[in-house]
Amino acid sequence: MLEWIYWLIRDALFFFGMVSGGLIRTMPRKERVVIEMRYGMLDGKAHPQHEVATVLGISRSYISRIEKRAVETLRRGMT
């Protein structure tokens, strides 16, 4: 069940990113990279936190905080 919800959210964010690319481009670099990698917006493959952390050279827990902040930014942008 949780995996289904994850893919639904991922697809919704992917679509939202495509529709409102301007909002994503205005996000800070780390937030943008985290969202794009975590939700497969670059290559269609959702990357786990440890891969994103390796690319950015930061901890997985920091990735989690950045992702939470970025998703909240996207949600606010929808209203």
| Closest among 45, 44, 35 to 73, alpha carbons compared | 35
**pLDDT one-digit tens code per residue, 23-62:** 778 889 999 999 989 988 888 888 999 999 999 999 999 9
- pLDDT, residue 33, reads 92
pLDDT-based confidence at residue 75 (cuts at 50, 70, 90): confident
The DSSP secondary-structure symbol of 46 reads P
Higher pLDDT, residue 17 or 76:
76
For residue 78, the Cα-to-chain-centroid distance in whole angstroms is 15
Q: Where are the domains of the chain?
A: 20-78
Start-to-end CA distance of the chain, whole Å, equals 28
| Closest among 67, 58, 12, 11 to 35, alpha carbons compared | 67
Report the CATH number of the 20-78 domain: 1.10.10.10
- pTM score, two decimals? 0.72
Higher pLDDT, residue 33 or 7:
33
